[in-house]
Amino acid sequence: MFGFLKDFLKDDHKPNLGGLELLRYIGPGLLVTVGFIDPGNWASNLAAGADFGYTLLWMVTLSTIMLIVLQHNVAHLGIATGLCLSEAANKYLSPTTSRTLIGSAMLASISTSLAEILGGAIALDMLFKVPVKIGSIVMVVFVIFILFSNTYRKLEKWIMGFVSIIGFAFVYELYIADISWGEAVRGWVTPALPEGSILIVMSVLGAVVMPHNLFLHSEVIQSRQWNLEDDVVIRKQLKYEFYDTLFSMIVGWAINSAMIIMAAAVFFKNHTQVTELQQAGSILVPLLGKGASIVFAVALLLAGISSTITSGMAGGSIFAGLFGEPMDLKDNHSRLGVYLSLGIALIIIFLISNPFMGLIYSQMILSIQLPFTIFIQLYLTSSKKVMGKYANSKFLIGVLLTIGGIVTFLNIKLLLSLF
């Protein structure tokens, strides 16, 4: 697993019971977090806040709860089997089923990459007046350079830094905006579907619970493996992985909530409709001051770079699994997966006329693919043949079925709204 992690996986890195041991497990969850604070989320969240105020905050809460369960569950697959979701599907499912799932997951990865690249390019336009299509090329070239010139551990540190900066950026935005915290609290816990909101609700869902992140987490969690033959070590990994996942998903929940709250306080309150991210940045200037617009653009650029890195890694993991291989960025199959995910997304960017709606619809596509990944993951992690004694309990199976049912129901509601 992870050919470029051999030095990290030596015996002298075996876990101990020190008080700071948990900190050594923090990382894989934050990589996943980057995926759901990406530019696609920015577009979905800004649209949610600008059009519906604080009303749709509950969807971020529900999506994050579902995400914690799903990511924790798929991380167990990686720890207990040494296989990522794509590899496990290839090994334990029929060729037709596995290829269909992996193929749809690659489409989801491409859709994700489209949003990440586009968001970073929009930020370059806001900061340096670089045309969006040229900025998209710059983004892809830069990310490919980072992916193929750094080890995983270096990438992880880069991304943890990016997440921290993005978080501080939104704390600053919230500090200078006039927030109605009472309405925000009610929005977090009160489900509501205002008329015309289903598209935004589904894009928020797809932007938080992202299929490619389920594949990626089951892969990168293996960077914390030491001795999978030792049951004590495996159980410790399972425990610490949950803390990593919980902490990281809460960070993501806070940042996504901040986006909607900011949009509600600035745009909805002033009856201003947001139709593009550039517009959102410029509108902040008279309302919050010039500094807010610059902070917004810098945070968007960092989100675009870091999430494009993770979507590229996910593409590599998904495609390598089609051949029964783990992700290794020195391997041709993994590299081809990265190129397909980023390259096809770049081509699509040159074909779309409305970048902002492209971001919205890309997240909706993720929500449509999501049920397929959830139910296949449920099957694999509930199978004693696959997981042995670490297979899902009956309670967890019920929870996962409920999540799959909710996502499927919302997708059906979306499809019915289109007719």
Number of domains forming the structure of the chain: 1
Range of the domain at 311: 15-417
Does 4 map to a domain? no
pLDDT in tens, 104-161: 999 999 999 998 999 999 999 999 999 999 999 999 999 999 889 866 567 667 767 7
Give residue 161's pLDDT. 75
What percent of the chain shows pLDDT beyond 70? 86
The end-to-end CA distance of the chain, in Å, is: 47
Residue 5 located in a structural domain: no
Closest C-alpha to 292, from 164, 48, 126? 126
| CATH at 246 | 1.20.1740.10
Kindly state the tokens that stand for 235: 């159980």
More confident position, 143 or 363: 143
pLDDT at 243 over 90: no
Considering the domain boundaries, does residue 7 fall inside one?
A: no
* 56 within a domain of the structure (yes/no): yes
- Residue 94: burial class (beta carbons within 10 Å; 0-12, 13-18, 19+): exposed
**DSSP state, residue 329:** T
For the ranges 7-11, 294-298, 406-410, the one whose mean pLDDT is highest: 406-410
Q: How far apart are CA 98 and CA 144, in angstroms?
A: 28
Q: Which of 123-132, 243-252, 341-350 has the lowest mean pLDDT?
A: 243-252
Inform me whether the pLDDT recorded for 14 exceeds 70: no
Please write the tens of the pLDDT for every residue from 62-101.
999 999 999 999 999 998 898 999 999 999 999 999 999 9
Angle CA(158)–CA(159)–CA(165) in degrees, nearest 5?
Answer: 95
Of residues 402 and 246, which shows the higher confidence score? 402
What number is the average pLDDT over the span 294-320?
90
**Is residue 10 one of the residues assigned to a domain?**
no
pLDDT tens-place string over residues 321-339: 999 999 998 899 999 999 9
Model pTM? 0.85
Q: Are 397 and 378 in contact (CB under 8 A)?
A: yes
